[in-house]
Amino acid sequence: MTPELDAPARAVRDAVVRIRDLHYSVNGRAILAGVDFEVRRRSVTAIMGPSGTGKTTLLRLITGQLRPARGQVEVDGQDLARLSRAALFALRRRMGMLFQQGALLTDLDVYENVAFPLREHTRLPERLLRHVVLTKLQAVGLRGAWRLMPAELSGGMARRVALARAIVMDPQILIYDEPFVGLDPVSLGVVLRLIRRLNDALGLTSIVVSHDVREITAVADHCCLLSSGRVIAAGPPRALQASDAADVRQFVHGLPDGPVPFHYPAPDYAAQAAEVH
């Protein structure tokens, strides 16, 4: 019989993504400066923070598109920095990605957009491929739209087609980059419900980057709040909402005044205005 794991051992086993002391800079400007956090298996984890705090950069580091200046990124127990190119590509095939605005291929219809990853990475017979694609479209409620072109879709429908494409390879990890941008309230509610339902029905691990606090905290199991290149708060949504920390309260409650500045850092106004180029 397998011995009962203690809490720390269970946490290590359940962590699909583990990030330790992660640093990343662009042109000498620190984007991430010592990030530590974990993503638990079969959970919905929200990565939140003000614009420009490195949320999308963090996703690119998790998928191996970028290399950190310092620190470690582990996905399913594999240190990305130690993987060969072939091993990294194999790991990425176990991830699904919903890009900002959906990023559908405009010259392909809905069916072919969803089929695209299968045609690129498998040799499925056409009959089986058709079954898989229609099943995923059914899951997002758009099987009847299979022959529409992207230009004929509403913003919410396009996002749902992109979601069907993201799950068509049956990924273990599903990543959403700002999935609610530009959606009307009804479409937003539909996508929000799909995130939770697909995660639970398919046994996924979902990572959602968003600054829509009220929406994402309604379905997230765990939240990670980034600011100034660091994790300033992490825990269940209720814990962040009840926090007394000024920077956490400012973001979670949408307060205009607080530690997060409105102005980007700039030199003295009079001195800058006097410069002649």
How many helices (H) and strands (E) in the chain? 11, 10
228/175 Cα distance (integer angstroms):
23
Confidence of residue 129 (pLDDT cuts 50, 70, 90): very high
Quick one: average pLDDT of 173-177? 90
Q: What is the mean pLDDT of the chain?
A: 84
Whether the predicted pLDDT of 9 surpasses 50: no
pTM of the model: 0.82
Whether the predicted pLDDT of 116 surpasses 70: yes
Looking at residue 257, what is its pLDDT?
60
Confidence of residue 5 (pLDDT cuts 50, 70, 90): very low
pLDDT tens digits for range 99-108:
877 789 889 9
Domain ranges of the chain: 9-42+53-94+211-255
Looking at residue 50, what is its pLDDT?
77
Q: For a pLDDT cut of 70, what percent of the chain falls above it?
A: 89
CATH code for the part of the protein at 9-42+53-94+211-255:
3.40.50.300
The pairs formed by 132-137 with CB atoms below 8 angstroms and a separation of 24 or more are 132/168, 133/164, 133/168, 136/164, 136/165, 136/167, 136/168, 137/110, 137/111, 137/161, 137/164
> What's the full length of the chain, in residues?
277
